[in-house]
Structure 1
Amino acid sequence: MQKVESINKEELVNVIKSKIQDKIKSLEKLIAETRASNNETKSSMGDKYETGREMLQQEINNLQVQLNEVIKQQSILQKLQIKNSQKVESGAVVQTVKGLFFISVSAGELITENQKVMSVSLDSPLAKAMSGKGKGENFILNNLSQNIIEIW
């Protein structure tokens, strides 16, 4: 991978915010649809379908857990400091030979300025291995030594 000259962190944050908003809308819609089908089951069927209703309720609970996690990510993102970093920390963009990593929330692959950037949580094994390190320093992940090429 060739050295990247600069990264627009604000654009990265905006891409993630948009992704999170889409996820929240999608999960809220799924919860509403599942609740509606649960209510239909309740009103049109007898006690014989109690198991089906319970399964729908479990599905609603699972979706609610996912929604809470995404809302938590949104909160972390809002508190994120967009400044240049000298070491690997929350809000830093790190370049290694394996790619570009934005230490923020776990939002997966992002494309900005024709660059592929992986958004990873501070709690991820990769971020933990790099945490506190500076440009030019090595870190070990999965028994592989990697070098930090640049930090923004």
Structure 2
Amino acid sequence: MNEFKAKVYQTAIDQLKQKESLLNQERINIIESILEEEKNSAGDKYETGRETMTQDLNTIEKQLKQSKADLEELYRLNTIKETPASVQEGALVKLAGQWYLIAISLGQVKCDGASVFLMSRNSPLGELMIGKKKNEQVNFRGKMHSIEELV
């Protein structure tokens, strides 16, 4: 596997692990708040506060579940070592001077001074690039862009 691509994967994995850690801490804080509310409150105010915290907890748990799924997907794609002949999941693509990793929708990560956008194969640009080879062109937002590199 290309060294830069390996660093991009590791940066994304580290970022997801950090997010997961923050979400776990937030989950703990909400649970502690719910337990504290039980001890100190009574009546309608208690029920409203508890319901709000329960909704927050459900939201955090959904985010944690998605984060775990994203992490598993990155680990899976990171096992692909050969350079693909065409753009596919797991490919690192340079298009119009910008790096894209076709993996999960994570957004931008910084790696070795470069910005890399992690996006799903189902994103609008991802769908256009899937199956394309190096030097082929993609029409995105009315402009033709050439695939400069494929790792």
Q: TM-score, normalised by structure 1?
A: 0.89
CA distance in 1: counterparts of 2:70 and 2:86, whole angstroms: 22
Q: For residue 17 of structure 1, what is the amino acid of its counterpart?
A: I
* Structure 1 moving runs of 4+ over 3 Å: none
Q: For residue 77 of structure 1, what is the amino acid of its counterpart?
A: L
CA distance in 2: counterparts of 1:129 and 1:111, whole angstroms: 24
Choose which of 31, 40, 44 in structure 1 pairs with 2:40: 44
Which position in structure 2 is the counterpart of 1:16?
A: 12
How many residues are paired up?
Answer: 147
Q: For residue 19 of structure 2, what is the amino acid of its counterpart?
A: K
Which position in structure 1 is the counterpart of 2:64?
A: 67
- The Cα of 1:59 is off from its aligned counterpart by 0.5
Which position in structure 2 is the counterpart of 1:107?
A: 106
CA distance in 1: counterparts of 2:96 and 2:134, whole angstroms: 13
Which position in structure 2 is the counterpart of 1:89?
A: 88
Which position in structure 2 is the counterpart of 1:29?
A: 25
- The Cα of 1:145 is off from its aligned counterpart by 2.6
Provide the aligned C-alpha RMSD in A.
1.5
How big is each residue's C-alpha offset from its partner over 1:48-98, in whole Å with a ceiling of 9 and x where there is no partner?
A: 220111011000001111111111100101111232122111111111115
How big is each residue's C-alpha offset from its partner over 1:17-73, in whole Å with a ceiling of 9 and x where there is no partner?
A: 110110110001001101110111122101322011101100000111111111110
Q: For residue 123 of structure 2, what is the amino acid of its counterpart?
A: S
Give the conservation status (yes or no) of the 8 Å contact 1:10–1:82: no
CA distance in 1: counterparts of 2:113 and 2:81, whole angstroms: 20
Give the conservation status (yes or no) of the 8 Å contact 1:82–1:91: no
Q: TM-score, normalised by structure 2?
A: 0.89
Identity of aligned residues (%): 24
